[in-house]
């Protein structure tokens, strides 16, 4: 049986493309035949708005407007995942801190942190990663944490500064996503870039390959742990 993989999208500040990554991941998994749930905790509700634009002819994504408190049902019922859920994508509020950060981390298997190539965003990311490691205790809790560079223009000095900063973190840099109109076209239709029926999207789709491959490896490790197998230096051993 496929384990439920809970992927948390966090960032240090608003405007880093957190929802873009969350919605595109949800669309990718749904199109790949995975039973996908999208939880939108962001007060702006952008992920749920994106989902409302999605055609019913497209692979279904179960959406939960977690940022809203419904009065007609209990919170537990509102937040209940489908029994067949395989991938759960969580779009968290920007700049979560303290106990709130700990709670989000505890409920996740994997954490993706989008970073923009700008001085302000690099500075904010440095402090936020420190909070994740110290307050959220990501490594102590056995959570996977990785970086995604968003809206990248690679032939710029600030992008080179970002690369140097990320090299000091000793965290996986999974993908460098372009500043591309394809994401706007996809968002306007409730789609992911993988679902755009145009050859022009192929360049952007390719950028996602190492990210989804890494996430698949995480699921493989989850399966191994469930079956009593641990990995030691790339080898598999029974507990």
What is the pLDDT, as a whole number, of residue 121?
A: 79
pLDDT in tens, the chain (239 residues): 678 999 999 987 777 889 999 999 999 999 999 999 999 999 999 999 999 999 999 999 999 999 999 888 999 989 999 999 999 999 999 878 888 888 898 899 999 999 887 778 777 888 888 888 787 778 777 888 898 988 876 666 777 777 777 777 778 888 889 889 999 999 999 999 999 988 889 999 999 999 999 999 999 888 888 777 544 433 444 44
What is the pLDDT, as a whole number, of residue 230?
A: 45
Q: What is the DSSP string of 200-216?
A: GGHHHHHHTHHHHHHHH
d(CA 131, CA 134): 5
What is the pLDDT, as a whole number, of residue 154?
A: 65
What is the pLDDT, as a whole number, of residue 1?
A: 67
CATH superfamily of 5-238: P-loop containing nucleotide triphosphate hydrolases (3.40.50.300)
What is the pLDDT, as a whole number, of residue 233?
A: 35
Within 10 angstroms of residue 42's Cβ, the number of other Cβ atoms is 21
To the nearest 10°, report the CA torsion of 215, 58, 17, 148: 20
d(CA 153, CA 1): 41
The model's pTM is 0.88
- Evaluate whether 115 touches 147 at the Cβ level (below 8 Å): yes
């Amino acid at each position: 049986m496929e384990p439920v993989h809970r992927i948390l999208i966090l960032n240090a500040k608003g405007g880093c493309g957190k929802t873009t990554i969350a919605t595109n991941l949800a669309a990718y998994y749904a199109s790949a035949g995975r039973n996908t749930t999208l939880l939108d905790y962001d007060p702006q509700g952008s992920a749920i708005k994106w989902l409302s634009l999605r055609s019913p002819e497209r692979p279904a994504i179960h959406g939960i407007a977690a940022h809203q408190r419904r009065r007609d049902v209990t919170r537990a019922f509102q937040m209940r995942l489908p029994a067949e859920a395989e991938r759960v994508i969580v779009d968290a509020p920007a700049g979560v801190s303290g106990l709130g950060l700990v709670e989000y981390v505890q409920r996740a298997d994997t954490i993706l942190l989008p970073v923009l190539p700008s001085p302000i965003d690099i500075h904010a990311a440095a402090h936020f990663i420190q909070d994740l490691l110290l307050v959220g205790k990501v490594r102590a809790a056995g959570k996977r944490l990785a970086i995604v560079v968003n809206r990248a223009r690679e032939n710029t000095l600030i992008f080179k500064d970002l690369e140097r900063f990320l090299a000091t973190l000793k965290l996986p840099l999974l993908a460098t996503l372009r500043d591309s109109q394809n994401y706007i076209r996809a968002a306007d239709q409730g789609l992911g870039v993988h679902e755009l029926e145009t050859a022009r999207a192929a360049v952007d789709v390719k950028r996602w390959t190492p990210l989804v491959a890494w996430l698949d490896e995480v699921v493989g490790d989850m399966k191994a742990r469930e079956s009593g197998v641990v990995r030691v230096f790339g080898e598999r051993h029974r507990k």
